[in-house]
Structure 1
């Protein structure tokens, strides 16, 4: 026997209140009686008509399955914005951000590596277990257990001092609302920019993306354009740090500070 709980009535009430509408307003928009809407919201109508169901779904732009099967009031603000932006778990035919992983012979998660040449394909196959299983994979003994990690290459100079071509190890971020201000992340986008390595801040209108390099201006990406977020853990590079240059800069800064103190003393 199916004991699936039905949330249709409570969801209609939740969405009406979320959009700051009275029962009279919504009933007028959908051309139904206020008493009928009240009965639906309070669960007094066990089986609304097919026409009413379709009209509610079209008006709120949320799938019929979601209206019936998901308690929308329990979703966080970000997931609600995803639903309203069209990222509906049932409209898309799969759960939001289903993560495909691969494991070794001991059933331990691998860390997959996504090389530059695979970046375009990753966007299409990021939730395909067969595609993920075909990626290069390895393990790092220092990584915390029970977490999912993946390695991505960087390109360009927008995140200097991270050098161009270094490899970024990231932890999969399932709850985007847990992002702190300016969290370093690899963000997988739907558009032409497959991977973006930025400082990420969650805002009401999307994700604010900021570079370390001030020559690159910040911009906002709508949540609906984001496929995955991977939080920075470590990076690896074959470049040798230019210690002499750093030491010379530090020495120059000390000289400048000393000169400034002398000038202030003579004022």
Structure 2
């Protein structure tokens, strides 16, 4: 069964593209787009390939997978890269520390066992042995009240679908390098993640799912900077998160519009 008609209609609307806009980009009449989406006509191969490119979806997925009902197949099921793990002489996993200066090299060496052995390693008590952890040193002030130099202890996720909107993660990406952000998962809708800083002086931005190399869910942090009661920041509430999500939807409409 072909899902081309429903997928074309769904993905076009998700991206905020009108039938007229799509027709202009494909150099066809708007009525032809309507015919494609109603299943009354099918595009020629050259047009189909261009549709696939414009909607940022694989040709096979566009035609054979029910994206609206089942989500983006390629991203939901894609596993991340095989993880290089450091262990001590008792075969107990260490926590590898990726410092600020090492973060640039980490993008190229994260899968190289020899490189990983050059990075500092340590243990922490009371962490579940059912997970693998890594520590990343923060740079800058985009995630206040956590300041530069804070160590984020992250638990490894092996699938992008495990990312829960509103939580904080360390992402290793081909485009942005190593970043620590609050992440909103829109993979099922448009194949992208929306990254938000807790410091509102920094604008949110998107990364494509296929550009993500590693994901670490923040579980703890280590800091030598003790909080000042006079500078105390109120933790995020459910109401705060709700407003943040509304703002993100508004920003997404501006980006895709």
Q: TM-score, normalised by structure 2?
A: 0.61
Distance 1:17 1:106 in 2: 57
Aligned partners of 1:101 and 1:133 also within 8 Å? no
| 1:211-244 deviation digits (Å, cap 9, x = unpaired) | 111111211111122111111011111112213x
Counterparts of residues 55-70 of structure 1 (less than 5 Å): 60=59
Match of 1:80 among 67, 74, 79: 74
DSSP 3-state at the match of 2:102: helix
The change in CA–CA distance for 1:25 and 1:179 in structure 2 (over 3 A counts) is same
Cα distance change, pair 79–124 in 1 and its aligned pair in 2 (3 A): farther
Aligned to 1:46: none
Structure 1 unaligned blocks of 5 or more: 1-12, 31-58, 63-71, 84-88, 90-94, 251-267
8 A Cα contact 2:76 2:160, kept in partner? no
Q: Tell me what 2:96 maps to.
A: 112
Shift of residue 60 of structure 1?
A: 3.3
Mapping for residues 1-267 of structure 1, pairs under 5 Å = 25=42, 29=45, 60=59, 77-78=71-72, 80-81=74-75, 96-191=80-175, 193-203=176-186, 204-205=189-190, 206-243=192-229, 245-246=230-231
TM-score, normalisation: structure 1: 0.59
2:179 partner SS: strand
Contact 2:80-2:159 at 8 Å conserved across structures: no
Name the structure, 1 or 2, with higher relative contact order (CA <8 Å, separation 6+).
Answer: 2
Q: After superposition, give the CA deviation of every residue in 1:190-223 in whole Å (9 maximum; x if it has no partner).
A: 12x3211110011123011011111112111111
Number of residues paired by the alignment?
186
1:114 and 1:151 in contact (8 A); partners too: yes
Instruction: State the distance in 2 between where 1:125 and 1:229 align.
Output: 16
Corresponding residue for residue 65 of structure 1: none
Segments of 4+ moved more than 6 angstroms: 13-18
Q: Which runs of 5+ in 2 are unaligned?
A: 9-35, 47-57, 235-257
Cα distance, 1:61–1:96 mapped onto 2, change above 3 Å: farther
Secondary structure of 1:116's aligned partner: coil
2-structure distance, mates of 1:14, 1:152: 45
Larger Rg: 1
